[in-house]
Chain A
Amino acid sequence: MSGVTDDHVPQHPDRLWRHPEPKPAYDVVIIGGGGHGLAAAYYLAKIHGISNVAVVERGWLAGGNIARNTAIIRSNYLWDESAAIYEHALKLWETLPEELDYDLLFSQRGVMNLAHNLGDVREGMRRVHANRLNGIDAEWLAPDDVKRLCPIVDTSPDVRYPVLGATYQPRGGIAKHDHVAWGYARAADRLGVDLVEGAEVTAIDIAAGRVTGIQTSRGPIRAGNVAIVAAGHASIVAAMAGLRLPLQSHPLQALVSELLEPIHPTVVMSNAVHVYVSQAHKGELVLGAGIDSYNGYGQRGAFHIIEHQMAAAVELFPVFARAHVLRTWGGIVDVSPDASPIVSKTAVSGLYLDCGWGTGGFKATPASGWVLAHTIANDEPHALNRAYSLERFETGALIDEHGAAAVAH
């Protein structure tokens, strides 16, 4: 287990990528300059030799959910389809800093999911066994083990949320989310990908059932293929191509404390009480909440969500009662009916979707980009995202992570 003190925050040059004018045409245009879109652009160029690619971003690069998440990485999902794609992501994470030549502050300090009642215990044990069958590292921890790995958790039996055990994935951990986006951006840029910021997509051009380009606030761009990788705004962009998606956009909040001495050596999640906590390298405690119930695009959420989350966190970690909240924020997550993503071809030839990652997209960033690049390059899904098609909502082959591991990602 690497501690919270043994890494450092590297210094950055002023510019990590060019700021090119958009060319009139590209082989592939990716709408959305977040983690997933940048990763897809990188793998298109790196693996598939397709470097005539633009990533078109409405705002600034990596300013959406890649900058707003709680940076937790794990692959201990229940269902086979989920385990496969998230474990592929985790394997990519393990070599990514070297591949991108960028210190991502990737720290495999382990991820713990606490069980607070008999139902949690049974679900957790089932998931540990399912993970092992899928070749994923997973352990069941007794309360004493929880205490040993994370001494600040209150494991006494008479609390509101008693700790009856936990699942533990030692290879899970955290990374510095901004560095992930910047690392992919720099690497993609070096391979010839144009990163076009400040270009809001206003229309998607389609002729005879095939995508031909996009209209943007920086002018029209012709494109052989277009991928929508717009997270919370996926529905809005897809509507420009006449597509209705099974997605609802919700605010999701997170917060950080002020900088503290290293006190929290791992990552602790609790689905039942909707809280997940780690300590960033700089020292702030990073806590995530559940989504706000209503549909929203406001990138802010309600205070009672934070209050509920903090009440649970202080109960689990009494030492947190002395910490102060430094900052809270919200992002917009696109939640699908089965809480699983959509990485798919569409009814429009040459138009692809990578969306619906909901509350759990950060950890999947490398695999999401990997399978989307494959899907675009071959006009066929990769084995890892074949199940994540739009058609599953019609065939009924849902990947029901709502009912499994995905209450909190």
Chain B
Amino acid sequence: MLLVPCPWCGPRAEIEFRYGGQAGIAYPKDPDGLTDAEWVEYLFLRDNPKGPWRERWVHTAGCRRWFDVTRDTLTNEFLG
């Protein structure tokens, strides 16, 4: 089980969290103006790296706040 570093509560067991996938995916500024290909990009395409990436967690059983963190997807090491 991962020890997830909540920035407000400190390192806590993974079962207290829900996963939010890739960080930094902003809702389209002008959704009416998006092409189908741009909707694919927003809805379905995410990075899927083997190594460090930026991801979101929410501390559902703790402070209930969302945060971003960098984790290595191969080693599971949290890198800050």
On A, residues with C-beta under 8 Å from B are: 233, 235-236, 244-249, 293-298, 302-304, 337, 393-395
Contacts and interface: CB of A to CB of B under 8 A. Distances in A.
B75 A298 contact: yes
Contacts of A394: 36-37, 39-40
Contacts of B75: 298
Nearest to A334: B48
B74 A293 contact: no
B1 interface: yes
A295 B55 contact: yes
Contact of B48 (A295, A298, A302, A393): A295
B43 interface: yes
Given A296-B73, A298-B74, 16 more contacts: A236-B49, A246-B45, A248-B21, A249-B50, A249-B73, A294-B2, A294-B19, A294-B73, A295-B53, A295-B73, A297-B74, A298-B76, A302-B1, A302-B2, A394-B39, A394-B40
Interface in B1-53: 1-2, 14-15, 18-19, 21, 36-37, 39-40, 43-46, 48-50, 53
Interface of B: 1-2, 14-15, 18-19, 21, 36-37, 39-40, 43-46, 48-50, 53, 55, 71, 73-76
Nearest to B41: A244
Nearest to B39: A394
Contacts of A303: 1
A235 B73 CA distance: 13
Contacts of A304: 1, 14-15
In this complex, the member of B39, B45, B48, B49 whose beta carbon has the largest number of chain A beta carbons within 10 angstroms is: B48
Nearest to B37: A394
Contacts of A298: 73-76
A394 B73 CA distance: 28
A393 B41 CA distance: 10
Contact of B40 (A246, A247, A295): A246
Q: Select the residue from B1, B43, B45, B50 with max chain A CB neighbours within 10 A.
A: B50
B13 to A, nearest CB: 8
Nearest to A236: B50
Contacts of B74: 296-298
- 7 smallest A-B Cβ distances: which pairs? A235-B48, A246-B44, A293-B19, A302-B1, A297-B50, A297-B74, A393-B44
A244 B45 contact: yes
Contacts of B39: 394
A247 B50 CA distance: 13
Contacts of A393: 40, 43-44
B46 A248 contact: yes
Contacts of B15: 304
Contacts of A248: 21, 46, 48
A337 B45 CA distance: 9
Nearest to B1: A302
B6 to A, nearest CB: 15
Contacts of B40: 246, 393-394
Contacts of B76: 296, 298
A333 to B, nearest CB: 12
B73 A337 contact: no
A304 B4 CA distance: 14
B2 A337 contact: no
A393 B53 CA distance: 24
Contacts of B1: 302-304
Contact of B44 (A235, A293, A337, A395): A337
29 contacts: A235-B48, A236-B50, A244-B45, A246-B40, A246-B46, A248-B21, A249-B50, A293-B19, A294-B2, A294-B55, A294-B73, A295-B21, A295-B48, A295-B73, A296-B73, A296-B74, A297-B74, A298-B73, A298-B74, A298-B75, A298-B76, A302-B1, A302-B2, A302-B14, A304-B14, A304-B15, A393-B44, A394-B40, A395-B36
A121 to B, nearest CB: 28
Nearest to A247: B48
A373 to B, nearest CB: 26
B32 to A, nearest CB: 17
Contacts of B36: 394-395
Contacts of A246: 40, 44-46
Contact of A245 (B19, B43, B48, B73): B48
A235 B49 CA distance: 8
A394 B46 CA distance: 15
Contacts of B14: 302, 304
